[in-house]
Amino acid sequence: MGGQPLYLEPRLEPRLRSLLEAPGLLHTLTDALGSPLHVVVPDQIAENVRRFRSVYRDHHLSGQIFFAHKANRSSALLRRLAATDAGVDVASLEELQHALGAGFTPDRITATGPKNREFLWLAARTSVAVSTDSRDELEQLATLVRRHALPRCRVLLRLSGFETAGVRVLSRRSRFGSPVRELDPLLEAVERHHDAVDLTGVACHLDTISLDEKAAALEGCLRVLEECRSRGLRPSAVDAGGGFGVGYVAEREQWERYTTELTAAVLGTRPPLTWGGYGYGLRGEAGTLRGTLGLYPAHRPVAAARYLDELLARPATSFDGRPLAALLLDHLYDLHTEPGRALVDQCGLTLATVLEVRTQRSGGELLVRLEAKADDIALEEHGVLVDPVVLPRDAARTGPAHPVAVHLFGSLCLETDLITRRTVFLPRRPEPGDLMAFANTAGYCMDFHATRAQRRPVGRKIAAWQDDGSWRWCLDDQYWPTTSVGGAQ
């Protein structure tokens, strides 16, 4: 390995750090339940709710925190969330059924995303609020309500394509939500179907982490609420959606150094840092860097609840520069949010057993094969680069530890089954039987992309919690909020 190792060490809060300090337990679990193994930590989601709720209190705001269920299928996380004051955002019929079965009452559930008739029917039948993406969807919902004599359904209008006054803020196009320029026919439909639907608020969905874009959309929602009230409608809530983000890498310096060196590798001024010269969206052309880096900003000091706090402090240019939080408070509007990744931050990890460590004849990086598929540990699918933590099988392994560069492969008979496309730097050589622990995978990286390719099973999932200083566990679907106060392993 030439040069200094380029580490991207994971950010670990106390619960995950403590879990990783119990390697004997983690080895026993994977020996018994197989690799890969997903471990979720339900108590952490309750802690994350408290952090978001504290921002609401600081700004004297009311409203609901809806967990975007699509981020993780876990029953344990959802049931633990049901024991808090938070709600859940469901984006399928099956997620709605799951939420109801986990203990959420309909007033704590909002239905979003693409919807079929069955999803709309159950939402309306159980009095769940529906965030509509189009006028057609609103019309379909109203027809279902009348045809099946369902209760009048609470709806929010999900909007997109917001514009700003003054300096233009570019916003990425989204396939979700009605363009705000089509507001008039949308409100006419609401008025026409007032017997079937009750407009309670407006919402926005942005595929972005930009605070400027988020602030522009929230300000745009406030203008829409003014228009609604001028027409005699009485919506009282703004749903700001998700996109609050997570910090994966602990040290800013490591992240900046890595991205700098990756650029140099793409330009050919240093040895490659990826398998097959992959550039993560960058390419070199005659000594010039082209393309756009397609990576998640893994070191994010402003994320999750802190991101929400900064968003609410942003000035609204079309309202005399007043902070967004002050405008919400002045009008007594509720603020709803839909954190997904941010609400399961530090809520889990994925374990994979090392099967093989090969040394190439030409030297260079070690080739390490894991008992897992790339879609079982989908960090890179979401552009997230972060190092795994190696948990040796033999805790008493002796000998000097020298940094090594490795490529991590999955176990499918497929060239593209790469756990990581990049070269990963580890503090010492891994050996067969060791575990690699990928921290902070609970947000979209455990089961969102999981397949049964080549008839291989998806990773099993367990829930773990601390009891008198020791870690205890049960299978994910066996966990209930009562479990951690007695019973299980």
**Under a CB-based contact definition with an 8 Å cutoff, are residues 176 and 128 in contact?**
no
Residue with tokens 């909007």: 159
Burial 167-204, CB ≥16 within 10 A → b, else e: eeeebeebebbbebeebeebbebbeebeebbbbbbbbb
Long-range pairs, 355-359, Cβ under 8 A, ≥24:
355/411, 355/432, 356/432, 357/429, 357/430, 357/431, 357/432
DSSP-derived 3-state class of residue 163: coil
- Supply angle C-alpha 122, 124, 126, rounded to 5: 65
**Under a CB-based contact definition with an 8 Å cutoff, are residues 80 and 481 in contact?**
yes
**Under a CB-based contact definition with an 8 Å cutoff, are residues 313 and 218 in contact?**
no
HSE (CB half, 13 Å, CA atoms) of 173?
1
Q: Which residues are catalytic?
A: 413
CA distance 343 to 274: 31
Q: What's the residue count for the chain?
A: 489
CA distance 136 to 198: 16
Helix axes 183-192, 211-230, angle to 10 degrees: 50
Q: Which residues pair with 251 in a beta bridge?
A: none
* Consecutive H or E run containing 288: strand 288-291
CA distance 239 to 229: 17
**Under a CB-based contact definition with an 8 Å cutoff, are residues 77 and 347 in contact?**
yes
**Alpha helices, H only, 59-157:** 75-82, 93-102, 117-125, 135-147
- Token output for 64: 């609901």
Q: Which residues contact 275 (CB under 8 A, 6 or more apart)?
A: 407, 418, 421, 422, 423
Q: Which residues contact 16 (CB under 8 A, 6 or more apart)?
A: 41, 44, 346, 349, 439, 440
CA distance 135 to 130: 13
**Alpha helices, H only, 207-350:** 211-230, 252-267, 304-312, 324-330
